[in-house]
Amino acid sequence: MNKKIAIVDYGLGNLYSITQACNHIGYYPVVTSDKNQIMDADYLILPGVGAFKVAMDQLNELDLINTIKTYAGSGRPIMGICLGMQLLFDRSEEFGHHEGLKLIPGAIQRFPSEIEGRRLKIPHIGWNKLVQNNIRWEATPLKDIGNDDFMYFVHSYFAQPEDEASILSYTCYQGFKYCSSVKKNNIFGFQFHPEKSGETGVSIYKNFLSL
């Protein structure tokens, strides 16, 4: 089957690296802000680098918010990367209080400035481990990922889902444990950058596109 893959272009995504990751495994996505192309896709990737409010403003300006929500409601696979994962949630406290896409119940919060009397270096930049939650990974894009495999992170805020059952993995940063990937039905989110995480990370795109 010739799979139709759309990467949402709203001006803040890591578009080239994600496209290259897909090309590397034999898939050729379209990078688009066109609603018809998005709705016609078999798989949707929502990237993101930058501030939550700016991203939501851009999606609103392009009239893509309802399109993405409608797509997610169709049951087809959708995957948010880094800021794209955060946008899936109800709200964020980044530079105020802002509403998200409301596809996964929960909020985006800033890392605490310290933990157990030690200052936390923010942002969290670099390689860190994924630790499996109680959810099995077999039917998710993490199905070939080993518990304790390393991925590449760059972020100052993290997701706090309301339902622990939606948490695929945790990551521990300088003693602070937080959610690093989520799943709700056909919706997946990864706080790290699979496309910057070597062959192990790229396999996440391969697994996603085989769902």
pLDDT in tens, 189-207: 999 999 999 999 999 999 9
Assess whether pLDDT exceeds 90 at residue 35. Answer: yes
Assess whether pLDDT exceeds 80 at residue 1. Answer: no
CB 160 within 8 A of CB 108: yes
Span 102-116, mean pLDDT?
95
Residue 135 pLDDT: 79
Assess whether pLDDT exceeds 70 at residue 38. Answer: yes
> Annotated active-site positions, please?
82, 193, 195
| All domains of the chain in start order, with CATH | 5-208 (3.40.50.880)
Calpha distance 174→193 (Å, rounded): 19
DSSP secondary structure letter of residue 180: E
Whole-model pTM? Answer: 0.96
Residue 71 pLDDT: 98
Span 128-139, mean pLDDT?
90
pLDDT averaged over every residue in the chain: 96
Give the lowest-confidence range in 143-147, 152-156, 173-177: 143-147
CB 194 within 8 A of CB 201: yes
- Indicate the pLDDT class of residue 42, thresholds 50, 70 and 90: very high
Which bin fits 31, alpha (ψ -120 to 50), beta or left (φ > 0)? beta
Count other C-beta atoms under 10 Å from residue 81's C-beta.
28
- What are the tokens at 134? 């109680």
CB 140 within 8 A of CB 189: no
Distances (CA, A) of 199 to 80, 195, 202: 19, 8, 5
What is the residue whose two structure tokens read 């955060």?
Answer: 86
- Give the distance between the most distant pair of CA atoms in the chain: 55
